[in-house]
Structure 1
Amino acid sequence: MASSNWISGIVVCTLIASCLFVVAGIIGIVLGPHILQSQVEKQLPLTADSDQLDSWSTPPVPIYLQFWLWECVNVGEVLRGAKPYVVQRGPFTYLEHRTKTGVYFNDNYTVTYRQPISYTFVPEKSALPETTRITMVNTPIVTIVALLRNQSAKTQEIFNIVKNFFNETLFIDHTAREWIWGYEDPLLKAAKSLPIIKDLVPDDHFGYFYGSNATDDGLYTVFTGEDHINQLNNINKWNGISSLPYWRTPWGNQINGTDGSWFPPLIGKDLQSIRLYLYSTDICRSLYAKFEKHSSVLDIPTELFSIPAEIFLNSTLNPDNIAFGTTDSGVLDVSVCRQGAPIYISLPHLLYAADRYQSRLEGIEPDAPIHRTIFEVEPHTGLVLSAQKRLQINVFLQPEHFIDDFKYISEVVLPAIWINESTTIDQKSADDLNNQVLRFFTIVRWVSIVLIPIGIVIFIVTIVLFKKHRSREESTPLLFAEANNTIASDHDH
Structure 2
Amino acid sequence: MVFCSMRLCLFIILAGVGMISAVLGFLAFIFVPKFIECQVKERTFLGREQNGTDNIVLKNFRDPPYDIKLQIWTFSTQNVDDVINKGKRPILEEKGPYTFSWCKMFYCTKQTLIFLQMTLVYSFATKKKYFFNANESCANCSLSDQVFVPNILFQKIIDITTGLSYPIRKTIEFLIRNKEKIFINVTVAELLFDGYEDELIKNVCSLVPTICKVLNVPERIGLFYGQNGTDDGLYEVDTGLRNINLLDKVYSWNGLKGKLKNNSWYGEQARMINGTGMLNFLNQAFFSDEKLEIFIGQLCRSFNIEKQSTAFTSGIPVFFVIHNLKIFWMLKRNKYKDSVIQMLLITSTIAQFKKVCGCAPSGLLDMSTCLPGQPRILWSNSHFLNAPSALLLEGMNLPSIKNDYSYFDIEPITGVVVGVQQKSQLNLGMLRGDLSITRNMRDLIVPIIWINESAIIDSKTREQLQIPIKIIFYAYIFGWILLLFGSFCFSLIIGFVVVRQCRRMAQVCFFLKLKRTFGQGRKIEFSEVISLIFL
TM-score with structure 2 length normalisation? 0.79
CA contact (8 A) 1:191 1:201 kept: no
Secondary structure class of the residue paired with 2:65: coil
| Aligned match of 1:342 | 376
Distance 1:225 1:160 in 2: 58
> Given the alignment, which residue of 456, 461, 464 partners 1:424?
456
Report the AA paired with residue 311 of structure 1.
Answer: I
Q: CA 1:26–1:150 in structure 2 vs 1: closer, same or farther (change >3 Å)?
A: farther
Specify the code of the residue in structure 2 equivalent to 1:85.
Answer: I
Match for residue 354 of structure 1 among 371, 378, 388: 388
Deviation by residue 1:2-24 (Cα, 9 ceiling, x = unmatched): 89657745642441231121123
Checking the alignment, whether the CA contact within 8 Å between 1:69 and 1:88 is kept in structure 2 is yes
Instruction: Verify the 8 A CA contact 2:287 2:412 in the aligned structure 1.
Output: no
Alpha-carbon shift at residue 284 of structure 1 (Å)? 2.0
SS in 2 for 1:88: strand
The structure 1 residue matched to 2:273, chosen from 255, 266, 276, is 255
* Contact in 2 for aligned 1:105/1:111 (Cα 8 Å): yes
Q: Distance in 1 between matches of 2:26 and 2:312?
A: 27
Q: How does 1:93-492 map to 2 (within 5 A)?
A: 93-98=99-104, 99=109, 101-107=111-117, 109-127=120-138, 128-149=141-162, 153-166=166-179, 168-181=180-193, 182-192=195-205, 202-242=217-257, 243-245=259-261, 246-261=264-279, 262-265=281-284, 269-270=288-289, 274-317=290-333, 326-338=359-371, 339-358=373-392, 361-364=393-396, 365-402=398-435, 404=437, 406-435=438-467, 437-461=468-492
Structure 2: distance between partners of 1:440 and 1:153: 77
Secondary structure of the 1:311 match is coil
The C-alpha deviation readout for 1:333-372, integer Å capped at 9, x for no partner, is 12122222111111111111124433xx322222221112
Alignment of 1:44-83 (within 5 A): 44-49=44-49, 50-80=55-85, 81-83=87-89
Corresponding position of 1:22:
22
Partners of 2:378 and 2:426 within 8 A in 1? yes
* Structure 2 letter corresponding to 1:255: I
**Deviation (angstroms), 1:289:** 1.5
Structure 2 Cα separation of the partners of residues 400 and 318 of structure 1: 30
Partner amino acid for 1:257? G
Which letter maps to 1:62? D
Deviation digits for residues 190-218 of structure 1 (CA, Å, limit 9, x no counterpart): 34457698566732311111111111111
Cα pair 2:430 2:445 within 8 Å, conserved: yes
8 Å contact 2:378–2:429 — kept in the other structure?
yes
Counterpart residue type for residue 154 of structure 2: I
Closer, same or farther: CA 468–344 of 1 in aligned 2, 3 Å: closer
The whole-number CA distance in structure 1 between the counterparts of 2:201 and 2:220 is 7
1:152, CA displacement in angstroms? 5.3
CA contact (8 A) 2:159 2:433 kept: no
Deviations 1:439-493 (A, max 9, x none): 222122222121100111133345667999999xxxxxxxxxxxxxxxxxxxxxx
For 2:161 and 2:48, how far apart are their aligned partners in 1? 51
Report if the CA contact (8 A) 1:223-1:235 is conserved.
yes
One-letter amino acid of the counterpart of residue 169, structure 1: K
Alignment RMSD (CA, Å): 3.0
SS across alignment from 1:244? coil
Q: CA 1:267 to 1:187, structure 2 compared with 1: closer, same or farther past 3 Å?
A: closer
Q: Does structure 2 retain, via aligned residues, the 8 Å contact 1:314–1:327?
A: yes
CA distance in 1, matches of 2:375, 2:436: 17
In structure 2, do the counterparts of structure 1 residues 135 and 429 end up closer, same or farther at CA, with 3 Å as the change threshold?
same
C-alpha spacing 1:55/1:317, structure 2 compared with 1 (3 Å)? same
Q: Could you tell me whether the CA contact under 8 Å between 2:332 and 2:358 is conserved in 1?
A: no
Instruction: Report the 3-state secondary structure (helix = DSSP H, G, I; strand = E; otherwise coil) of the residue aligned with 1:67.
Output: strand
- Give the number of equivalent residue pairs: 463
In 2, Cα distance between equivalents of 1:11 and 1:440: 34
Provide structure 1 residue ranges, at least 5 long, that are not aligned to the other structure.
Answer: 472-493
Residue 70 of structure 2 corresponds to residue 36 of structure 1? no
Say whether the 8 Å CA contact 1:93–1:125 is kept in structure 2.
Answer: yes
Q: Match of 2:510?
A: none
Residue aligned with 1:159, SS: helix
Deviations 1:135-168 (A, max 9, x none): 11111222233244365555543432232243x3
- Aligned with 1:62: secondary structure? strand
Structure 2 runs not aligned, ≥5 long: 50-54, 336-353, 503-535
Instruction: Tell whether the 8 Å contact from 1:392 to 1:417 is kept in structure 2 after alignment.
Output: yes
Partner of 2:339: none
Identity %: 26
2:482 and 2:323 mapped to 1: Cα distance? 43
| TM-score of the aligned structures, taking structure 1 as reference length | 0.85
Q: 1:454 to 1:382 in 2, by over 3 A?
A: same
Q: Is the 8 A contact 1:65 1:93 kept in 2?
A: yes
Q: Distance in 1 between matches of 2:451 and 2:116?
A: 35
1:220-265 deviation line (CA, Å, top 9, x unaligned): 1111112221221121211121211112332111112223443113
